[in-house]
Amino acid sequence: MPDKTLTGDVTYPSEETVQQARVPRWEELAAEAEKDYLGFWAREASELYWSEPWTQVLDDSRKPFYQWFIGGKTNIAYNCLDRHVRTPHRNKLALLWEGEKGEFRSFSYFALRREVCRFANLLRSLGIKKGDRVTLYMGRIPELPIAMLACARIGAIHSVVYGGFTVEALAERIEDSKSKVLITCDGAYQRGKIVPLKQIADEALQRTGTIESVLVVRRTGQEVNMEQGRDLWYHELMNLPIANVDHPIEMLDAETPLFLLYTSGTTGKPKAILHTHGGYMVGTYTTLKYVFDIREEDRYWCAADPGWITGHSYIVYGPLLNGATSFLYEGAPTFPYPNRWWQMIEKYGINILYTAPTAIRGLMRFGEAWPNRHDLSSLRLLGSVGEPINPEAWRWYHTVIGRGRCPIMDTWWQTETGMFMITPMPSVPLKPGSGTRPFPGLHMDILNEEGVPVGANEEGYLVIQNPWPAMMRTLYNDPQRYVDQYWSKFPGMYLTGDSARRDEDGYYWIIGRVDDVIKVSGYRLGTAEIESALVSHPAVAEAAAIGLPHEIKGNAIHAFVILKAGQARHDHLTEELRSHVSHELGPIAKPEKIEIVDSLPKTRSGKIMRRVLKARALGQDPGNLATLEE
Ligand code: PRX
């Protein structure tokens, strides 16, 4: 049993949890990784298939452009599928899917590989080759992971754009990645309504010129515009002989790019985080195995969207690498009633549920009666990600959903890190609101402005001191920004963009972002994106966006706008502006409130001081105003 000497509000693992854990204890793994960090990762990597072994685990000669498993050849799609298909595992369920309307589809490893091979051949026939970018803008349906794996199989780079984004967000991501092919759906079901994905894509395609072919998966069945010579129905192509099952896989250098994922940064446009086949594969495989203690008989459900990093790493790649059964649900948690999730847990016998605090808070407000109507005894472990979990939500998740038996793995990580970084393992004592300690072998610290480590319980910049296999390799098309943004404030250390504190037990507590990123319902948005959507409206001259605390969403967007000279303030203008942001960027970015103002607080060099706006909105002291212009 773990020692019971920790301070504060501690939940120790039950005897049952400790005894039933099939993974080593945290202390054991940490000791191994401390003794020989690269040996630890090499041992993990050797559990996967490499057609040629690596000659060097880590190359740090071009810091911060680290490379892993140099000389090794592999393919993440092979390790997700073919590796299992060669064993009795071939008939195990790889993917279970439930549609919002209740339809059900399932794929064994054998069947999933078959679909991926057929799709890979189809992509080839459209002229997609190694290194080409393919944008995916789809709902949560099995064809999304199939398309991702098909890209990986041929060495193409997928760039998934979350289906909740809209016109400008999609256009910008297609343009920046210079994608040749777009894969989309006619529509997606969300809360019983249809999100017209193809229609949004058509509008986005008018703003960018790189796409040669659009593959459309039929899901919702409504009439859509199909442009001759550009748009193709997926189901029609999949019936052609070119969509052959026979697809010889190409083994790739470990450092071959796997995907781009756009995320909001400190300033300016969203940036494309680049991950590669080898290191990302080893990182996601290892962390999911140890943290969730994934087992042969498990049914595992990560309720994120595949369009975000959580879905990439822990709906698609991590679970398949581990030979697990991954469950994917198409729709909203409360559709048609607030027991939808609990119903599915009972129906499919889900053992592990991994979700975000915002979802927990959202479901909590409907009360205990909804989950209590269902048999949730299949659950063994729970996970949380995306933002700090407030102790109240933690308790509810633990007692009402986990029935007091299931430990909660509060995993801190980022699009950039690719894998869990601060996280418990099943038998680690937990403190509600803390992700406990760094994953074995990782070294992290909390620094003050001068780069000096702060004392216990003091707030500072969270940094990572050593490289890890699933780390981003660069910002696609912008290596300088990669260096400037992540590796320059404290040379040699990776800057996370979060502030945190560490208590006397060495447990980390994330406080929040220190940059211009706003986390709305766990979704990462940049003030710059919201502001640029606002100023693209003809009435707006200038805009500023801030995040203010929100009971369910964690943060909600509040925006301030200055109107163009001569622009009349009519009654519906703020409502019109909110809809405009929703149309351009997506409903998740729709500001809660927009205020029309005559001026904005700025520094003498003209930068908007969002911190002043925020302090004012919260009725707090704005702090040092020395740089304020007026
Ligand atoms: O602020 C941290 C918060 O989410 C940020 C990363 O966002 P994104 O790249 O979209 O990835 C989210 C899913 C991995 C972090 O900088 N964050 C993520 N997980 C946690 C968290 N904050 C507190 N606790 C967490 N468990």
Q: Which atom of ligand 1 is nearest to the CA of 523?
A: 10
- Closest of 336, 329, 351 to residue 104, by C-alpha: 329
Q: Ligand 1 in contact with 385 (CB < 6 A)?
A: yes
* Residue to mutate, 413, 446, 511, ligand 1, most ligand atoms under 8 Å from C-beta: 413
**What distance in angstroms lies between residue 628's CA and the mean position of ligand 1's atoms?**
31
pLDDT of residue 437: 98
Gyration radius from the chain CA atoms = 24
Residue 269 is predicted with a pLDDT of 84
Q: What is the Å distance from ligand 1's center to 91 Cα?
A: 35
The finding on whether 310 has its CB within 6 A of some atom of ligand 1 is: yes
Question: Atom 12 of ligand 1 has which residue's CA nearest to it?
Answer: 386
Segment-wise mean pLDDT, segments of 10 residues, the chain, 630 residues: 80 92 96 98 98 98 98 98 95 98 98 98 96 98 98 98 95 96 98 97 97 98 97 97 93 98 84 98 98 95 96 98 98 96 98 97 96 98 96 97 97 98 97 98 98 97 98 97 96 96 97 92 92 95 95 96 91 94 95 95 88 92 76
C-alpha of 365 from chain center: 25
pTM of the model: 0.96
Contacts with 334 (C-beta within 8 Å, 6 or more apart), sequence order: 191, 340, 362, 363, 366
Ligand 1 touching residue 510 (CB < 6 A): yes
State the distance from the centre of ligand 1 to the C-alpha of 313, rounded, in angstroms.
Answer: 14
424 lines ligand 1 (CB under 6 A): no
Out of 422, 519, 523, mutate this one to test ligand 1's pocket (max ligand atoms within 8 Å of CB): namely 519
**Whole-number pLDDT of residue 568:** 86
Cβ(123)–Cβ(156) below 8 Å: yes
Cα(418) to centroid(ligand 1), Å = 11
Cβ of 351 less than 6 Å from ligand 1: no
CB-ligand 1 contact for 434 (6 Å cutoff): no
Q: Which of 165, 264, 414 to mutate to test the pocket of ligand 1 (most atoms within 8 A of CB)?
A: 414
Q: Is 410 in the pocket of ligand 1 (CB under 6 A)?
A: yes
Asked, as a colleague might, if the bond just before 64 is cis with ω within 30 of 0, I would say yes
Q: Which residue's CA is minimally distant from atom 15 of ligand 1?
A: 414
Ligand 1 centroid–CA 554 distance in Å is: 12
Q: Which atom of ligand 1 is nearest to the CA of 308?
A: 10
Q: How far apart are CA 342 and CA 15, in angstroms?
A: 26
Give the β-pairing of 444-447 and 381-384: unpaired
Residue 111: per-residue pLDDT: 98
Q: Which helix (H) or strand (E) holds 133?
A: strand 133-137
Whether 411 lines ligand 1, by a CB cut-off of 6 Å, is yes
Does ligand 1 have an atom closer than 6 angstroms to the CB of 408?
Answer: no
Full 3-state SS string of 462-514: EEECCCCCCCCCEECCCHHHHHHHHHCCCCCCEEEEEEEEECCCCCEEEEEEC
User: In sequence order, what are the residues at sequence separation of 6 or more whose Cβ sits closer than 8 angstroms to the Cβ of residue 365?
Assistant: 552
Are 584 and 171 in contact by the 8 Å Cβ rule? The answer is: no
Question: Residue 413: CB within 6 Å of ligand 1?
Answer: yes
The rounded distance, in Å, linking the Cα atoms of 630 and 627 is 9
Residue with CA closest to ligand 1 atom 21: 387
Q: Which residues contact 374 (CB under 8 A, 6 or more apart)?
A: 339, 342, 343, 345, 346
Residues pairing with 556 in the sheet? 548
- Cα 388 to middle of ligand 1, angstroms: 8
CA of 147 to the centre of ligand 1 (A): 26
Residue 498 in contact with ligand 1 by CB distance below 6 A: yes
Ligand 1 center to residue 602 CA distance, Å? 29
- The answer, yes or no, to whether any atom of ligand 1 lies below 6 A from the CB of 513, is yes
Ligand 1 midpoint to CA 413 (Å) = 5
Q: Give the closest residue (by CA) to ligand 1 atom 4.
A: 386
Q: Which of 515, 524, 525 to mutate to test the pocket of ligand 1 (most atoms within 8 A of CB)?
A: 524
pLDDT tens digits, 233-262: 999 999 999 999 998 999 999 999 999 999
Q: Whose CA is nearest to atom 24 of ligand 1?
A: 388
Q: Show Cβ contacts of residue 615 under 8 Å, excluding neighbours closer than 6 positions.
A: 621, 622, 623
Q: Please classify residue 220 by burial: count the beta carbons closer than 10 Å to its beta carbon, then call 0-12 exposed, 13-18 middle and 19+ buried.
A: middle
Residue 528: Cβ within 10 Å count: 18
- Our mutation pick for probing the ligand 1 site, out of 161, 358, 498, counting the most ligand atoms within 8 A of Cβ, is 498
Cα–ligand 1 centroid distance for 470 (angstroms): 16
The Å distance, Cα 158 to ligand 1 centre, comes to 22
Structure confidence by residue, pLDDT tens digits, 89-147: 999 999 999 999 999 999 999 999 999 999 999 999 999 999 999 999 999 999 999 99
Give me the amino acid identity at 472: M
Residue 303 neighbours by CB under 8 Å, 6+ apart: 329, 333, 341, 353, 354, 355, 356, 359
Nearest ligand 1 atom to alpha carbon 513: 1
Ligand 1 pocket, 309 CB below 6 A?
Answer: yes
Give the pLDDT of residue 1.
Answer: 52
Per DSSP, the residues of 421-458 read -B---TTS-B-TT---SB-TT--EEEE-TTSPBP-TT-
Helix (H) or strand (E) holding 157: strand 157-160
State if residue 555 touches ligand 1 by the CB under 6 angstroms criterion.
no
Ligand 1 binding pocket mutation candidate from 274, 387, 419, 513 (most atoms within 8 A of CB)? 387
| Of 181, 195, 408, 374, nearest in space to 292 by CA | 408
